[in-house]
Amino acid sequence: TTAKSKNRKMSAPTQLNMSDGPSKLKGKVLMISGCKDEQTSGDVGNVGAFGLPADVGPGGAGGACTNAMMATFYKNDDTPDIPECDMTWAQLLVEMRTSLEEKKFSQVPQLSASYQMHLSTKFHVKPPQAQRTKALLIGINYVGHNVGVLSGCHNDVRVMKQFIKSQGFTEGDRMKIMMDDGSSEMPTRANIEAAMKWLVSDVRSGDALFIHYSGHGSQVKDVSGDEKSGFDQTMVPVDYQKTGQIVDDWIFETLVQPLPEGANMFCVMDCCHSGSIMDLPFEIVVTPELAAQVATAEANGSLDQMVLEENPSFLAKYKKHKGVMMKIAGAAAAGAMVGTVGGPVGMCMGCLAGITAVACCYKDEAKELGKDVHRDVQASRVV
């Protein structure tokens, strides 16, 4: 299968046409995925091979992506329980790739974003200007399944929870943990989808959101024609055999599109076929060539000229439905604004009224958009 993520050379920053593409997304979303779309991601039997301090998580099994990231942060023997996060995104990506290569993993980490970020940008889970935090962590070992049982996903969640707490995230009603461990909320399809909606339900400018998924990732045939590879990427819930999988189109529409200006989201997807599992418009794969370019750029002070490249599959999808999507977004916002006089209920009713008006006035375009969404949802139920 030809993957939609390609190893491309970095380029100098370019001026984007603000009326013609992904710059219409308002929130800032960054995602690190454990591998490219066509690759599988490793489940490590003994994470001790990554050299993590004993204080970092429960030990035992874990995902290669999560533990390569933690090995990058926890490498100071003088302060073994304090992560060292003062680095650029470029440094994080290259060090993760190096860590995976040293442990003989062939998977290649990938960075995707909702905007054309410079690789010289400082890494932050919670940006300095962020105010409220909210987090969703999902780990699925597929306990009791006849096939596909994993061993490290629960440990990944525990490690990641400890890490984000060190970065300013707090437990309580703004942190949700989902695991098939018998005591946490079960990561069924319905529960995961509800949790994703919960994550963005009250988002506002200044918020820092976080999502971590450790489990199986898969692919289903793309029947809407918007994926260059011919496949949609999916998350695999614990009850996938009965309810199907969660496709990237739905994840994008649920988590990415609703974010307002000034909201930030960081995602870690430790699963197979995860390179574009959030369908973000910009991406970069950590190839050996990229690592060499980063080293050269750091040496000559030109790292700020390296940026993420456009994801061609996102552009094809966006342009196909751009007109009606812009109309829906504008009408929904206008309706919500008018409905503010009626409080939260009025805002919801105003938003729905705006969407309904567009659907009635532009029936053909709205019908085509609906068909694509319906086909993707139906495809996700094919196991």
Strand ranges inside 143-190, DSSP E: 175-179
Q: Which of 65, 154, 212, 216 is catalytic?
A: 216
272 belongs to the catalytic site: yes
**Alpha-carbon distance values, 185 to 139, 166, 180, 368 (Å):** 11, 24, 7, 36
Interatomic CA distance for residues 87 and 240, integer angstroms: 38
Say if residues 197 and 96 touch (Cβ distance below 8 Å): no
153 belongs to the catalytic site: no
Interatomic CA distance for residues 332 and 338, integer angstroms: 10
Length of the chain, in residues = 383
End-to-end CA distance of the chain: 18
Q: Which of 153, 267, 272, 351 is catalytic?
A: 272
348, with CB counted inside 10 A (0-12, 13-18, 19+), is: middle
Interatomic CA distance for residues 53 and 74, integer angstroms: 7
Q: Encode 9-20: b = buried (16+ Cβ within 10 Å), e = exposed.
A: ebeeeeeeeeee
Catalytic residues: 216, 272
